[in-house]
A and B are shown apart, each in its own frame.
Chain A
Amino acid sequence: MGLLKKKDSTSTRSSTSPCADLRTAYHNCFNKWYSEKFVKGQWDKEECVAEWNKYRDCLSENLDGKILTRMLEVDSELNPTKQADSKESSR
């Protein structure tokens, strides 16, 4: 369903994403950081790195490559300057 490779053709509209739990963990961490730190001016440090890495690894394994390529194409259309930005704050 969604972005993921079609493994099960009988999957329904309910959330069957294998990365759903990792996604929730990451989003919860991010929302907390955003409300408690980022909007209060504390943006000196990247947080939720562990949660992000686990979630991202799961997405990489399960994402439909064709759709992802098209997404990234559109994203680069929307953000032409982002490509030139060499600052990588998450290592």
Chain B
Amino acid sequence: MVKAYKQEHVYKHPWERVSAASWRKFADPENKRILSHILEVDTLNRKLDTDTGKLHTTRALTIHAPGPWFLHRIIGQDICHCVESTVVDGKSRSMQLTTKNITLKKFIEVEERIRYDPHPENPSAWTVCSQETSIRIKPLSALASMAEKVEQKCAEKFMQNSVKGREVMERICRYMEAESAPV
């Protein structure tokens, strides 16, 4: 059983600034309080293709993800490791991130895809963020009998975190805008 959620948000900031803000999202000290569930972010690999202007990055995210009490009984841990794979296409001005969980892969698969593109109606000044999250409980796993409840809880958590993430992004964009404004 798969649940998929789509969200879209328009940032009234140019794509260059929004994509740069995305890199800073988890590390920004002021915003760590809001995204306190993100414990560590490490860059595992980065490759720049100097011919095509494509930047490939792999990052490891360690997240504090306490679930409902019954999950903790089965899993016994609150830490979730995820892999984030990103491609930034400098030529076409597009950034795509895909994040998947490593932890508990046997039980549940969560995949989050985010895209940042220039807004079609205002490509030089605005950016569209499209986010799609899919949550799938693996059949025959210990969680299968309560799949719907778990998926629902996960989805709620993801929505809450998405809102926080957007809030942080908007702050960083405003900060970067102020920094770049002529004195």
Decide if A and B are genuine partners: yes
Residues of chain A whose beta carbon lies under 8 Å from any beta carbon of chain B = 1-3, 13, 15, 17, 19, 23-24, 26-27, 30-31, 34-35, 38-41, 43-46, 52, 55, 59, 67-68, 70-72, 74-75, 77-79, 82, 85, 87-90
Set of chain A residues within 8 Å of B16, measured between Cβ atoms = 35, 39-40
Set of chain A residues within 8 Å of B15, measured between Cβ atoms = 39
- Cβ contact within 8 Å between A74 and B100: yes
Set of chain B residues within 8 Å of A27, measured between Cβ atoms = 23, 27, 43
- Cβ contact within 8 Å between B40 and A34: no
The chain B residue with its CB closest to the CB of A41 is: B90
Residues of chain B whose beta carbon lies under 8 Å from any beta carbon of chain A = 15-17, 19-20, 23-24, 27, 39-40, 42-51, 53, 55-56, 58, 60, 62, 64, 79, 81, 83, 85, 88, 90, 98, 100, 102, 105, 176
- Cβ contact within 8 Å between A1 and B62: yes
A19 to B44 Cα, complex, angstroms: 12
Contacts known (A67-B102, A70-B102); A43 close to B55, Cβ less than 8 A: yes
Taking a contact as CB atoms closer than 8 A, the residue among B60, B62, B90, B176 that contacts A43 in the complex is B90
A68 to B7 Cα, complex, angstroms: 31
- Cβ contact within 8 Å between A71 and B60: yes
A39 to B43 Cα, complex, angstroms: 20
Contacts known (A31-B23, A79-B56); A43 close to B85, Cβ less than 8 A: no
Taking a contact as CB atoms closer than 8 A, the residue among B23, B39, B85 that contacts A78 in the complex is B85
Set of chain A residues within 8 Å of B40, measured between Cβ atoms = 1-3, 15, 17
The smallest beta-carbon distance between A26 and chain B, in angstroms, is: 7
- Cβ contact within 8 Å between B42 and A59: yes
A2 to B42 Cα, complex, angstroms: 9
Taking a contact as CB atoms closer than 8 A, the residue among A40, A44, A67 that contacts B81 in the complex is A67
- Cβ contact within 8 Å between B48 and A89: yes
Taking a contact as CB atoms closer than 8 A, the residue among B49, B83, B98 that contacts A71 in the complex is B83
The chain B residue with its CB closest to the CB of A70 is: B102
Taking a contact as CB atoms closer than 8 A, the residue among A23, A30, A31, A90 that contacts B47 in the complex is A90
Considering residues A13, A34, A41, which has the most beta carbons from chain B within 10 angstroms of its beta carbon? A34
A27 to B148 Cα, complex, angstroms: 39
13 A-B pairs with C-beta separation under 8 A: A1-B39, A15-B39, A30-B46, A35-B16, A35-B17, A39-B20, A43-B48, A46-B50, A59-B42, A70-B102, A75-B45, A87-B49, A89-B50
